[in-house]
Chains A and B, each alone.
Chain A
Amino acid sequence: MSQLLEQNVDTVSESVAIVATAGNLAGVLSYPQDRPTIGRLVVAGPHPLLGGTMENNVVRAVAEGMAAQGWITLRFDYRGVGNSEGPSMCDAEAMQSFWKTSEVHDECERWTDLRDASRWLCELDESMQPLVVVAYSFGNWVLSHWLEQNGKPDVVVGIAPTLDQHDLKSLAQTSVPKLVLAAEADFATRAESIQAALPSWKNTKTEWATDRDGHFFRGHEPWLCQRITNFLSDLQAEASP
């Protein structure tokens, strides 16, 4: 069941219900209007307690921007967020824990939401085109957990990875092609942490976002889409005979 949300010259957006193990997740599917898609892309958003919804500026802009570039994209709300089913994180215990540690005890379980959203998109679009996961902020940790559980995206993009907050070992070690868009003056991760860690990450291209609103990229969302598009185009060119 889906509902047409928006239709413009280039893209169509529909609200969708994603069948997931944690219950139905609310999502928005966006795709080009009159041309075949060139790939499948899922966006994993920031922490639910820090405004992590599919309406987050980065999440929405990447999903819509990449749809305009020819991708079928899916953004979604984690369980308990917005209209997604499941227990909310907004209880006193979780918030207290989050205030102290920036963590909630079962937050990494959201990796199944990402897995289920990706599976749902692949079942919807059986084109066998590449599956790209774009993870933003806390989404990097979710992605890392999914990779640890044998998740198999074809390409991953990490925007403002939260290296100072989370152990992103599986994301670092996966051999799938990776683009990391690291923010300077990022309140969540010190630049030196990224500079120290990223050289050891496998198959990773890093781009620094300077003067782009730190962790938040407000007003610089098109720049993100452009970097992702360029990276994916380069990969495609490399793969072409």
Chain B
Amino acid sequence: MSALRKNPTVNDIILLTGATGLVGRYVLRELLRSSRAKIAVLVRATSEKHAQQRIAAVLDWLKIDARLRQRVTTCVGDLARNDFGESQATQDCLQRCTTVVHAAANVSFSNDRDEELAKTNVLGTRQLLQQVGPQLRHWIQISTAYVAPTFDDIGVEQEAKQFDFRNDYEVTKAAAERMVMAVAATRGFALTIARPGIVVGEYDTGRASVFQGFYQPLRAVARLADRAKKNSVGKVRIPLRINVSPEGPRNLVPVDWVARVICELVRHGENARGIFHLTPEGSMQNGPTTSRDVFNAARSRWQIEGMTFLPELREKDMTTFERGFYRHLQQIAPYWSGEPRFDDRQRQALLPHLPCPRIDEAAIHRLLDYAVETKWGERSEKIAVTNKFAAADYFERFLPKYAPLSTLPRLSNVTAEVGFRVAGIHRGQWRCRLVRGDVVAVQRAACEGAAVVFEADGDTLEAIVEGKLSPQQAFFERRVEIAGDIEMGLKLAMIFGQFIVEFPYAAQLQRGQTHVAVA
């Protein structure tokens, strides 16, 4: 047995592939934050300069500071090409790396791309296995839960053996798993296979760099809602019957959690040998996300009426309108009609301190808010970063979570309803219920009837909660309006201002704590 150390040290090199993808970039961030090792990122590019530009863009997107960036080495290499790894710098990294996190993959669900899928997912993996040097101690293969063998409709953390996969993507991912297992057995390095469920944006902010899979039907709904005419109460009617069971599970996992689990698996080294499902926990309170959660969020997000569930709806009974909708979902059809549950006991046993957060309706709202703000990824990343702040996240998660930790709200001993009306890109209304100074509930609701209502645009709110502008100064500059009881409003602004000093939103982000994952 080789003398495996658990946590990679400053002398180790972790080779990461797929760093420009959704999962890969968050793994890069977590590796930089949670380990001291050097990170070599293998990236497709036309030149070293081009590679560095691509990685610099990712690091900018992640808001990685200059100090951490010093630990990143960029290597040019296209796993799908025969001449992969011919540059000296890339060869050096391949020869010296002690850990490989192989996240690069072609994730197309299209069945007419079998060659491309095989090239990247199978041949690319083989090339990488052939090129890595003798220093390699631990290989983490990022796969997918959907290659898991299923028993009684439960996917288990075992070798991918079956052949009735849903598409070529799964076929190639399973083949790659088997290949790495065979090589690991021969060469003696520790192998970890990490199988995430359906990866979505960050839990706290909804931030993501790609909007496929889970997002596709919602984008189709959004398109319909945008085109529909609003009625007198601002609602749109979409006569759409959703042909899935409302209680069917959706194995949604936030990308920041997936990255944290992967980095913990890296840290565990040889102790993390095996197959691990990064999926919603069977024991999760309220169960995993359901189709009902997803479409309820869509209904309220776009104020939709007329969208109902009809699992038994057959194609011949569909309206032309419905056929048009479902045509957009052909690629994800194998996952649309129903998903298995996944057994994740091995992962839970090894990492009991990292439970999977449930993607509930509020979290789906955050995912949708971010997707819409970035026009489903069409808007430039620079703008996406600028718009990282989410009022919903602040009011629905941050405030209820941190207000009880502060003694400040209790100073008032006030029992009242306080409203927040936000205009602009983060628009929405939230209502905060204070009972004897305790924040007992914050929810999305109209502000009418609240004792005090604060009104601001999203940029002002962001500046306030990040501690860049005091609430009172914002009021004096007419960037905040107070309706209702002005005196109470000014005094609440005083307490809120001090609460922000104690719990600034931006500082929480910069500390990279688990509760807020905006980079």
Residues of A near any B CB (own CB < 8 A): 49-51, 53, 55-57, 90, 92, 95-96, 98-99, 102, 187-188, 214-216, 218-219
A102 to B488, CA, bound (A): 11
Task: Name the residue on B nearest A97 (C-beta).
Answer: B411
Instruction: Give the residue of B407, B475, B501 whose beta carbon is less than 8 angstroms from that of A92.
Output: B407
Q: Do A57 and B494 touch (CB < 8 A)? A: no
Which of chain B's residues have a CB closer than 8 A to the CB of A50?
472, 490-491, 494
Task: Name the residue on A nearest B414 (C-beta).
Answer: A99
Instruction: Give the residue of A90, A187, A216, A219 whose beta carbon is less than 8 angstroms from that of B487.
Output: A187
Count B-side interface residues using an 8 Å CB cutoff: 22
Q: Do B478 and A51 touch (CB < 8 A)? A: no
Which of chain B's residues have a CB closer than 8 A to the CB of A99?
411-414, 491, 495
Which of chain B's residues have a CB closer than 8 A to the CB of A215?
486
Q: Do A55 and B473 touch (CB < 8 A)? A: yes
B331 contacts partner chain A, Cβ-Cβ < 8 Å: no
Which of chain B's residues have a CB closer than 8 A to the CB of A187?
486-487
Task: Name the residue on B nearest A185 (C-beta).
Answer: B486
A134 to B87, CA, bound (A): 74
Given A92-B407, A92-B411, A96-B411 in contact, is the A216-B476 Cβ separation under 8 Å? yes
B467-478, CB under 8 A of A: which get 1 and which 0? Answer: 000101101111
Q: Closest CB of chain B to A54's CB: distance in Å?
A: 11
Task: Name the residue on B nearest A100 (C-beta).
Answer: B413
Q: Do A57 and B498 touch (CB < 8 A)? A: no
A206 to B473, CA, bound (A): 28
Given A90-B498, A92-B411, A95-B408 in contact, is the A51-B476 Cβ separation under 8 Å? yes
Q: Do B472 and A51 touch (CB < 8 A)? A: yes
Task: Name the residue on B nearest A95 (C-beta).
Answer: B411
The A/B interface has a contact count, at CB < 8 Å, of 51
Task: Name the residue on A nearest B413 (C-beta).
Answer: A99
A96 to B409, CA, bound (A): 10
Complex interface residues of chain B between 26 and 56 (CB less than 8 A to chain A): none
Q: Closest CB of chain B to A102's CB: distance in Å?
A: 8
6 shortest interchain CB distances as A-B pairs: A51-B472, A187-B486, A96-B411, A57-B476, A218-B478, A99-B412
A51 to B490, CA, bound (A): 9
Task: Name the residue on B nearest A55 (C-beta).
Answer: B473
Given A92-B407, A98-B494, A218-B478 in contact, is the A51-B473 Cβ separation under 8 Å? yes
Q: Closest CB of chain B to A160's CB: distance in Å?
A: 13
Which of chain B's residues have a CB closer than 8 A to the CB of A90?
498, 501
Q: Closest CB of chain A to B415's CB: distance in Å?
A: 13
A168 to B293, CA, bound (A): 60
Q: Closest CB of chain A to B503's CB: distance in Å?
A: 15
Task: Name the residue on A nearest B474 (C-beta).
Answer: A51
Q: Closest CB of chain A to B467's CB: distance in Å?
A: 13
Task: Name the residue on A nearest B492 (C-beta).
Answer: A99
Task: Name the residue on A nearest B437 (C-beta).
Answer: A99
B408-447, CB under 8 A of A: which get 1 and which 0? Answer: 1001111000000000000000000000000000000000
Which of chain B's residues have a CB closer than 8 A to the CB of A214?
486
Task: Name the residue on B nearest A89 (C-beta).
Answer: B494
